[in-house]
Amino acid sequence: MPLLLGLVLLLSWVVLFAPTASLVPPAWPAAGILAGLFLTTPPAHRGALAVLAGLVLVAAEALHGLGVPVATALAAVTVAEALIVSRLMTDGTDRRAPTLLVDGDVSRLIRGVAVGAGVAAAGYGLVDQLSPDPPMRVGR
């Protein structure tokens, strides 16, 4: 678990040092790292990992200058995206992480990433549109 905590804390690094006027949500790279952690974490620990990652992302995004409500919404989208990607890559089962050596693993990888990206785009866009201070627009 200490290794997971260290990796989750690493997620905040990208958020803290991303340019504030960026059109790309600074949590986006964190979603990929988090999806990998979900794939390699035992099922019994995934809930705790999701909560811990969400809290770290909220804190990092709030320190980056976003309000807590917006930071919370963006963190929820990021965690949801990572969960969806990891779940679709394993066909919704708790089987081993895909090795990409077995028939169907590449298809599951492509499907998981595509659906996760769609969820993230919709979620980040919704947060941006509903936010009184849009976090992802140039010149904010």
Give the predicted TM-score (pTM) of the model.
0.77
Give the type of residue at 46.
R
pLDDT in tens, 44-73: 888 999 998 899 888 888 887 788 898 899
**Looking up tokens 């997620």, which residue turns up?**
11
Q: Closest by alpha carbon to 35, among 132, 117, 107?
A: 117
What end-to-end distance do the CA atoms of the chain give, in Å? Answer: 38
Q: Any idea where the domains of the chain sit in the sequence?
A: 2-17+24-130
